[in-house]
Structure 1
Amino acid sequence: MTINTKTRLTLCTATLALLGTSVAAQELNLYTSREPGLVEPLLEAFTKETGVKVNTVFLKDGLAERVASEGEASPADLLMAVDAGNLADLVDKGLTQPVESEVLTAAVPENLRDPGKQWFALSMRARVVYAAKDLELDSITYEQLADPAWKGKLCIRSGQHPYNTGLFSAFLSHHGAEQTETWLEGVKANLARKAGGGDRDGAKDILGGICDIAVANSYYVGLMRSGKGGDEQRAWGDAIKVILPTFEDGGTHVNISGAAVAKYAPNKEEAVKLLEFLVSDEAQKIYGEANFEYPVKPGVALDPIVASFGELKVDPTPLTEIVANRAEASALVDKVGFDN
C-alpha cells in the first residue's frame, strides 16, 4: 500500500503530538519546606532511575497557604513537609488527595501514615534525651523527666516549639490532660534554665555544666558529631551520650517528614511514582546519610552514628491521634507557664 504525502504528514503530526504528551508527562512539580541540601540528593537519584524531571519550589514557610492561594490552577503535584502536624494541616485544608499504593502501605507502618491515605511518612526523628557522658544513666522514661531528682538539671527548648508540642501531645494520648498538666509542672520545676534556645543548645549547656540532661531530636547528634556544624558543635556532640526514652506503656516518640499528593496534581502518576521511590531502600538510605534521620521502612541500614544510639522502639500511638492533641497540649503549656 502506497502512503501519499498528505497521509505521511498526518501520521507525523499525530506521532509528534503523542511524543509531546509523553515528554510533558515526564516531569512533576514538588513543593517542599525541607532544605534543598536534604531533598536534592533524593531527587537526583529519582531522575537518574526514572528519567522523570522534578521541578522544585522550596518554601521555608507557608506551604499550605501557597497551595491554597493557587486553587485549582496550582501546578503542585507533590507536597513535602516536616512535622506530622503540617501534613495534617494540608489535609484539613482540603489540599491533598488519597493515594492507593501497595508499595506505600507495605513500606510505611500504619501508625506513620494517614488512615485515609492522604499522606505518608518518609523519615523519622526521635525525641531523645542527651545526657552528660559521665552520668550514670542508661535508660529513662518520659514520665521520669518530671522526677524531682532532676531538679535544676534539665534543659529543653520552648514548650511551644513544634518538636515539644508533638511530645506533649503524645503524653496526652498516653495519660490524659490532668496527668499531663502535672507532668509539665514537674518538668518545668526541674529546668536548669528558662526553656528556650535550640536542641543543640542542650548539648552545649551539658558541656558547659549548666544541665545534666536535655530533651532534643536525635538527628542533631549526627549533625554535631559528623562535624557538619563545625568543630565547636563537634565538641558539643562528643560531650553527650544519647538515651532513647520511652513512655511507661509505649515506645519512643518520633516525628516525621512526609509527603502528600496535591489535590489538583496535573501529574499525579509521576507524583505517586516519586512518593513510592522515596520509600525505596535506596532513598531511605539517602535520608539517613543526608540528615541522620531514621528510615521509616523496616530493615534499611542506619547511619553508624544513629545506630550507636541503640535499638529504636517507635511508640505505636498513631501520629494522627497525637496531632489531634496539639491545641490542648499548647494550652497546657501556657497554663503551667512553661516558658515563663
Structure 2
Amino acid sequence: MIKTSFGFSTTAAEAVSGIDLAGRRAVVTGGASGIGVETARALASAGAEVTLAVRNTDAGAQTAKDITATTGNEAVHVDPLDLTDLASINAFTDAWDGPIHILVNNAGVMASPATFTSPGWELQFATNHLGHFALTTGLHTALAAEGARIVVVSSSGHMLSPVIFDDLNFAFRRYDPWLAYGQSKTANVLFAVEATRRWESDGITANALMPGAILTNLQRHIGSQGSGQIPPELMKTPQQGAATSVVLATSPLLEGIGGKYFVDCNETPVVDKRPDVPMQGVARYAVDAANAERLWNVSKEMCRSGLRSFV
C-alpha cells in the first residue's frame, strides 16, 4: 500500500511543494472549472507547461490568465476538446506535437438526466469513460515518448454500480442517473488498471482516485441531493479536492506505480462491496483484471468507427 505524508486536508499547493516540473508537459481535461483549475494551477506553479483541454475555450482562456497571474507561469495553453465528440477528440490528438508527461483525465458529468450522444451512448459513460479512453489512446505516442503518468478522476460513486456490459446504454434497464454515474466511475478505475497493464513497458502508468466531496459545477444536476446531505466536516475545498490528483501526477512515491486507487492522497484497500458496507475503499469489481481487459476491448469496438487508430 502506497502511503504518503498527506491526507484529507492537504491542498494541491502543499502536495506539489518542493516538486520541480520544469521541462514537463501536462494536459488537464476539464481544466477550466472545479478541481481541474486547482490541479492545473498546482502543476503550473511547479513549472510545468500546462494545456487546459476544455469545451468552453472562453472560460479556459480566463482560467489560463488567472493561473498565469497567480503562478507567474506563462506556459498555460487552452485547446478545445469535447469528450462526447470523436471528431473533436481526433482534432485534439492530431494537433498535439511532442511528449506528454502528465495527463489528468479530470472532466466529467454527474447524475445527468437521461441523455444520449449521437452514436446512442449514455452521456455519463460517453463523457466520463469513452471520451477519455479515446483521448488517451489517441495520445499514446505522446505519452510513451518520455514515459507519462495518467491520472484518472473517479469517485466513491463507483460503489453504486459495476460496469453492466450487457446494457451499457440502458437500452433495457430503466435509466437511473446514479447507476449510470456509478458505472462510469467504475469504468474509470478499470481503465487505469488496463492502461497500466498494456502500457507499463512503454513507461506509462495510470492511477485512479476519489477527490472527495467538493461543491463545484459537477453537482449542477443534483440540487438538494448534493452537498446538503454531506456533513460539513467531510466537505473539501477545490484546492483540497485537487490534492490527490496532484500527488498521483507528481509524487516520487508513485514512480513506476499504476493500476491503483487513491483516496485522501493515499492508496485505499480493496473491499467486497455489500449494501450494508459504507462507500469506502475500492470495490473488487473495479480493479478486477478480467473486467478491465473486457472493458478496454468493448470500448475499442464502440469507438472504432470514429477514431483513426488504437494501441
TM over 0.5: no
Q: TM-score, normalised by structure 2?
A: 0.37
Structure with more relative contact order (C-alpha pairs < 8 Å, separation 6 or more): 1
Larger gyration radius, structure 1 or structure 2: 1
